[in-house]
Structure 1
């Protein structure tokens, strides 16, 4: 099974249409089973798409309307034109840059039963600190799995920010019986406090990077970006966490200018896994 996570930065990117097409081409080439995307935007005032046009869409309870410029909707349509069908889910976390409804998306080759949960201390959509994560149950080779598209806040202290959000998600996922895969932008560098919380979690997850037989690339952010404006380091903040029993054959940073063109202010991560 191969999986991809990418913080897309979607319509905030220069030459966004070209980068969307490059993402389409990579997905077709790699033929991912599951894809998790973050910072998936649509304009607040763009046209709402009718339900009949949302092919393969798997809504959540209280679903926010999908607009014609929703980045995930545009991606899935382009993939369908190339003969690649994905089931998909999206929901909004908050308003970004005053003009976008920003959220997370999941794509799977098999149908999704999806749920969006607020994990942040605030649930005000006008507050960029509001975090809503997307949980989907889907199938791989007839076996049910649980996949999560995550976009967390930064580390503040042991009771707020990332730590608060992580414990909210952890509490929800402890009720899951299916194998867990957490993909996304954790906004917490490897080996630091937030990362350690995940590693020590009773969810029994492993960082796919740390157990991969073959690795290519490491950092997913290499410059100052939104949320990391003072950054001067190479950071690994985008992860795919897998069940502790997993065998990860390969881990690769993609969309980094080496393994695919740069399409976002984050690089992506893909893995190939043979056992979980």
Structure 2
């Protein structure tokens, strides 16, 4: 099974239609070429005032909550259309997490090459205010792959030292949620942007590991340097950044990971975001 996560930062290119089109086409091409079974996208946005998509055109869409309606330039919707043109059928879900930059519905998406049994979205931040840029939401799906039951979470975490929304409080909330909802499944995966460098001691990365979550990069039999951010980005403007590993795929259980690699880093496919993607192959 191949899994992929990417903070696609789609709102940064929406004002340039041709660039936006290039980004989503290159992403969809990669998904098709690599036969990705499940992928998670963060900062998967749409223009707030864009026209709403007719529900008849959302055949493979699985609603996760009473949510912001899908608009015509929704990043996930556009990717789904391209995949359909390639003859690929994915079920997908999307949720709006917050109103960003006074123009965009910033959200999360999960695509699965099969049947999504259930989709759910919920806030794990203290703030549930859609107009607060620090509000954080999780998106999850239950599905069957390789005759096993899985839950996949798409997460975009806050920062460790944030005074309003500290990482540890957010993850504590998630852990309580996991206790009540991760039952009767074979494994659970967390995919996303954790805003916590792997080399930063006693920060968010160590906090997640201390709950027993397994970093699939560490489990991988074959891997590269794992760096998913190669330049200065929002949230890290005051830091010297030579490269950070802050995007992860975590597994609840010890598994066999044959390969972990960074994609869309100008080495393995051209960059399409200020983050690179993380792809793993598991047995």
- TM-score class, shorter: over 0.9
Maintained 8 Å contact 1:225/1:231 = no
Structure 2, unaligned runs of 5 or more: none
Structure 1 stretch 212-221 or stretch 227-236: which is displaced more?
Answer: 227-236
Q: TM-score, normalised by structure 2?
A: 0.93
Distance (whole Å) between structure 2 residues aligned to residue 133 and residue 229 of structure 1: 25
Give CA deviations for 1:209-236 in whole Å, capped at 9, x if unaligned: 1110000231111111122212322111
Match of 2:174 in 1: 169
The question of 1:125 aligning with 2:130 is answered yes
**CA apart distance, 1:157:** 6.5
Maintained 8 Å contact 2:98/2:107 = yes
Match of 1:57 in 2: 61
The question of 1:181 aligning with 2:221 is answered no
Q: Secondary structure at the match of 2:45?
A: strand
Maintained 8 Å contact 1:106/1:149 = yes
Q: How many residues align?
A: 272
Structure 1, unaligned runs of 5 or more: none
Q: Secondary structure at the match of 1:154?
A: coil
Distance (whole Å) between structure 2 residues aligned to residue 134 and residue 121 of structure 1: 16
Q: Secondary structure at the match of 1:55?
A: coil
Aligned-pair Cα RMSD in Å: 1.4
- Compared CA separation, residues 171 and 191, structure 1 to 2 (3 A): farther
- Which one of 189, 208, 211 corresponds to residue 198 of structure 1? 208
The question of 1:94 aligning with 2:98 is answered yes
Distance (whole Å) between structure 1 residues aligned to residue 126 and residue 133 of structure 2: 12
Q: Secondary structure at the match of 1:195?
A: helix
Distance (whole Å) between structure 1 residues aligned to residue 86 and residue 133 of structure 2: 35
**CA apart distance, 1:158:** 9.6
Q: TM-score, normalised by structure 1?
A: 0.95
Distance (whole Å) between structure 1 residues aligned to residue 169 and residue 107 of structure 2: 19
Match of 1:138 in 2: 143
Match of 1:149 in 2: 154
**Which portions of structure 1, spanning 4 or more consecutive aligned residues, are displaced by more than 6 angstroms?**
none
Match of 1:243 in 2: 252
Q: Secondary structure at the match of 2:44?
A: strand
